[in-house]
Amino acid sequence: MATLLYRLGKTAFRRWPAFIGVWVVALVAVGFTALAIQQPTSSTFSIPGIPSERASELQEELFPGSEDALNDTSVTVVVAVPEGEQLSDPAYADRISQLVTDISDSPQVLSSEQAPILDPVAAAAAQEEALSAGGASPEDVANLAPVDADGRVGLITFDFDVDEPTDIEPESQDAILELLDDARGDGLEVEANGPGLQVMEISGASELIGIAVALVVLVLTFGSLVAAGLPIVTAIVGVALTSLGVTGMTAFTDVSDMTPILAVMIGLAVGIDYALFILARYRSELEHTDDREEAAGIAVGTAGSAVVFAGLTVLIALAALAVVRIPFLTAMGLAAASGVFLAVLVALTLLPAVLGMLKSKAFGGTVRRYAPQRDEKGRIVNNGVRWAKLVGRSPLAAVVLVVIALGALAVPVQNLQLALPSDSTSPSDTTQRKASDLIAEAFGDGRQAPLLAVVDGRDIADDAERQAAFGEVVAWASEQDDVAHAQITQTNADPEGDPAAATGALVLITPESSAEDAATTDLLADLRDTQGDIESSTGAELGVTGMTAVAVDVSDRLNDALPIYLTVVIGLAFLLLVLVFRSILVPLTATLGFLLTVLATLGITVLVFQDGALGLVEGQPLVSFMPIFLVGVVFGLAMDYQVFLVTRIREAHVHGADSVAAVIDGFRNSARVVAAAAVIMMSVFAAFMLMDMSFIKAMGFALATAVFIDAFVVRMTLIPALMYLMGEKAWWLPRWLDRILPRVDVEGESLERAHARHD
């Protein structure tokens, strides 16, 4: 491995015009192709095979053309007047009627002939007339009423004339929001929410902040403006290709609207880090030779080998998301994995080519001279050496302290609550959240968390028995805990035929609690647990669907997939690390350290984002896919630092150093660079906390926290302490396994370098 990459580094340095040219051509070609075939991203979270999905298919059979909950394009406009007043007051009624008319005339809104938009005041009056005529029960009328019992909060509901939410033009959404601005005021509150108003705003500000911090860290690390810019420039090339590739993916498959964000986030972080490691090794080699081409070859052969295996661990962790069979998560994992793959290629080929182009100017623009302190043998004495010696004084105490501290931080994980993003979890200053709060206050928390029971009576031959079965299902649903009301909202009877001939019905089940409340999740579980009983007693087939059910099913599937995912990722990565380090104990300690990092990170994230500790954000459930995605990313990044740090320790060991000296020597050569890489990665992830989307804030926070814990607490404290305690046993490998394992030479043992032999 080292020899092959050594030759690649020298070739790229020597033939830099060809290598740079290939990357430029690739960038242009992928860019034009992707922009020509791109399609909109998707905001749905469909998972084939979940119970709610099967219920939706049953609904489509019984009610052809019915709208899938995942493709809902509706918008609910909430109008409210002050306490003691009513919407029917002349001061408000005319303005509300005008708002309804203006909405009907807005772009992409369904025409009045297709789906009339009802004035809530007029609709409430019509329902009162129907109630007085004895056409429906008071409870059924109240459950669907567009105006609350006090007459001060009303709902205007409409749909966009599109197939799915991603087809809605931003201009159409803006037109609706402008109408809300014009209508509100003088005591009238006007807010709106719903799938039709979901907006994914992607700003480059967070990336720019991360890059700015990275530039400062790189300047401090290299003391050169030119050298500081090289990792950033090369990483941007990789990120640009990744982003364009994800754009091109939309032409062939559904791509979640958060996929580009996460792919860029991870690609930028690892791209800078990988280039940093090779560039730092290149500068180190220049202390021992004046041949820049040779130095580039050694840097790519040694640090590049570590980059390859570090990248492989991240690739395994991200690509393995495909094994859980969740389409949107698979797309996210593959997109992020492609970013890591390109980051490795860029670091191995483009960076040495740029060094070949710059030659002696690679470390130009000097802002401070690199003059490290040295001991009596000429070896560098830096903070990495000092820290390694400090940990070595009491390694057992360091292990105990780290384990207890991280264990304590992990305690809040037991209160972890997961959900999909919704209007009710949006920031409190958004119109979506304000509308949700108004609806909850006026109509109850469950109004926005409906469950839909699909009743299939086609196997019941007698019309009367079939109608009775529908009624039994309503009674069964009403008896469940946490149900505010249940009613039949639609049957598939022919409008011109006998209503009793209907073979299917939709039963709307309104909970008392919100979609994020655990009581609603328990209600869904109770419905499904007792579903078999009502099917046996009635002869009908049932299914429960709706967005609330979909969200719960997605969370359940993700939770069930996590153990499988962990087994695959940890198993494959463990084998890879055994191959790299030729040791059993080193990969084992690396894995245990990763588990501590993940549990502590999740605990802190629960405290800050779910419980609202520190007052940084409003407390709300974490997004459902965070744990499994966090595990994948953190495992990959944790193994990055393990590979970069421990390969330098092993390099010293294979060149003659004893166990203690090897740890100190490894920290001498890599601790400073690993620390810089960790700070850069933290800054890139933390910058995403500035985005408006709460789940992106939480993801950025969690990843930044995980990098800090893993790099500085686990890899730089726990791991060296364990290495001291294990001594030479750290490199133990059964003889039979040593014979069958291929030798990959990550440390560059095959590269002849006199200065590498340990004194």
DSSP code, position 584: S
Assess contact for 121 and 88: CB atoms under 8 A: yes
Residue 753 has pLDDT above 60, yes or no: no
Residue 668 has pLDDT above 80, yes or no: yes
Q: Is 613 helix (H, G, I), strand (E, B) or coil?
A: helix
Q: What sign results for the dihedral spanned by CA atoms 734, 736, 741, 747?
A: positive
Which residues neighbour 270 within 8 Å (Cβ) at sequence distance 6 or greater?
311, 314, 339, 340, 343, 637, 640, 681
β-pairing, 622-623 vs 418-419, is parallel
677-697 pLDDT, tens digit per residue, is 888 888 878 887 877 677 778
533-542 pLDDT, tens digit per residue, is 999 999 999 9
Mean pLDDT of 109-119: 67
Q: What pLDDT does residue 487 have?
A: 92
Mean pLDDT of 94-108: 89
Percentage of the chain with pLDDT > 90?
A: 25
19-41 pLDDT, tens digit per residue, is 999 999 999 998 888 888 877 66
Backbone angles phi, psi at 482, to 5 degrees: 75, 15
User: How many Å apart are CA 306 and CA 308, to the nearest integer?
Assistant: 5
Q: What sign results for the dihedral spanned by CA atoms 445, 446, 450, 451?
A: positive
598-613 pLDDT, tens digit per residue, is 899 999 999 988 888 8
**pLDDT category of residue 169 using cuts at 50, 70 and 90:** confident
Q: With CA atoms as reference, report the closest residue to 52 among 590, 521, 513, 559.
A: 521
**pLDDT category of residue 496 using cuts at 50, 70 and 90:** low
User: How many Å apart are CA 185 and CA 428, to the nearest integer?
Assistant: 19
Q: Which domains does the chain have, with CATH numbers?
A: 1-37+248-358 (no CATH), 47-70+451-545 (3.30.70), 379-423+561-738 (1.20.1640.10)
Residue 674 has pLDDT above 50, yes or no: yes
Residue 758 has pLDDT above 50, yes or no: no
**488, 492, 495, 496: CA torsion to nearest 10:** -130
Q: What pLDDT does residue 115 have?
A: 60
**Distances in whole angstroms, Cα of residue 424 to Cα of each of 296, 577, 614, 636:** 54, 44, 21, 33
User: How many Å apart are CA 700 and CA 706, to the nearest integer?
Assistant: 10
User: How many Å apart are CA 508 and CA 487, to the nearest integer?
Assistant: 5
User: How many Å apart are CA 604 and CA 407, to the nearest integer?
Assistant: 11
Q: What pLDDT does residue 201 have?
A: 52
**pLDDT category of residue 754 using cuts at 50, 70 and 90:** very low
Residue 7 has pLDDT above 70, yes or no: yes
502-513 pLDDT, tens digit per residue, is 889 999 999 999
205-230 pLDDT, tens digit per residue, is 666 777 888 888 888 888 888 988 89
User: How many Å apart are CA 92 and CA 186, to the nearest integer?
Assistant: 9
H/E stretch holding 76 reads strand 74-80
The tokens describing 541, both together, are 């087939």
User: How many Å apart are CA 112 and CA 116, to the nearest integer?
Assistant: 4
Q: What pLDDT does residue 717 have?
A: 93
Q: What pLDDT does residue 42 have?
A: 65
- The string of DSSP letters for 221-280 reads HHSBHHHHHHHHHHHHHHHHHHHHHHHHHTTTS--BTTHHHHHHHHHHHHHHHHHHHHHH
Assess contact for 326 and 297: CB atoms under 8 A: no
Q: What pLDDT does residue 580 have?
A: 78
Please tell me the chain's helix, strand, coil percentages from 3-state DSSP, rounded to the nearest 5: 65, 10, 25
Helices marked H in 452-491: 463-478
DSSP code, position 15: T
Q: With CA atoms as reference, report the closest residue to 561 among 70, 56, 50, 53.
A: 50
DSSP code, position 77: E
Q: What pLDDT does residue 468 have?
A: 92
**pLDDT category of residue 129 using cuts at 50, 70 and 90:** low
Look-up: residue for tokens 């990336």?
A: 207
560-572 pLDDT, tens digit per residue, is 888 888 888 888 8
The tokens describing 705, both together, are 């926290």
H/E stretch holding 563 reads helix 547-581
Residue 463 has pLDDT above 90, yes or no: no
Residue 759 has pLDDT above 60, yes or no: no
